[in-house]
Amino acid sequence: MSRIVPFSILGLSAVLLALGVTLPIMRFEQLYFFSNEPSLLQLVGELWSDGSAGLAIAVCAFSLVFPAAKLIVLAAEVVAGDARSGVLHRAMPHLSRWSMMDVMLVAIVIFAAKTSGLATAVTLPGFWCYAASAVIAAIFPSVVKLGKTDRQSEKG
């Protein structure tokens, strides 16, 4: 597998991550008159301005920093080629552990809003872009490993 295909997949994941962070992730409707459609960036900003700095930092870390860092590490592994040892290889399990956490948290918030009866919640394109980016980044290492083992079996 040439390096163009992995970089294309990572590029798609990065674009989806950017869209997922900037587009609205959900719509909350209360009393049929009021609605709110926050993006992840707006959510972090509102948490920070409301005085919830700790929560804003946690959401920023898990929703923005870890997914971006995972994509950077994956790109660095593609550039490094078959050298899968060292810091990059050791960092990946720790980054992967948190990759779907906020997708699950948004799903729980939507479920809670729907079951409370106080508001209705609907997922919007930002959520689906973000989830698609997380899924691509999660399966990407397996796809690249398969490509490497296919090349190695062709040589042998």
d(CA 129, CA 135): 10
Spell out a b/e string for 125-155, using b for 16 or more CB atoms within 10 Å of the CB, else e: ebbbbbbbbbebbeebbeebeeeeeeeeeee
Q: What is the pLDDT of residue 61?
A: 86
pTM as predicted: 0.77
pLDDT in the model for residue 5? 81
Q: 84, 12 in Cβ contact below 8 A? A: no
CA distance 24 to 27: 8
Length of the chain as a residue count: 156
Q: In the chain, where are the structural domains located?
A: 4-151
Six token digits for residue 90: 């050791």
Spatial neighbors of 110 by CB under 8 A, at least 6 apart, are: 26, 121, 122, 123
pLDDT in tens, the chain (156 residues): 577 888 888 999 999 999 999 999 888 777 666 677 888 888 888 889 988 888 888 888 888 888 888 888 888 887 776 555 556 667 666 666 666 666 667 666 666 666 666 667 788 999 899 989 988 888 887 777 655 544 555 455
What would be the CATH architecture of the domain defined by 4-151? Up-down Bundle (1.20)
| Per-residue pLDDT, 46 | 86
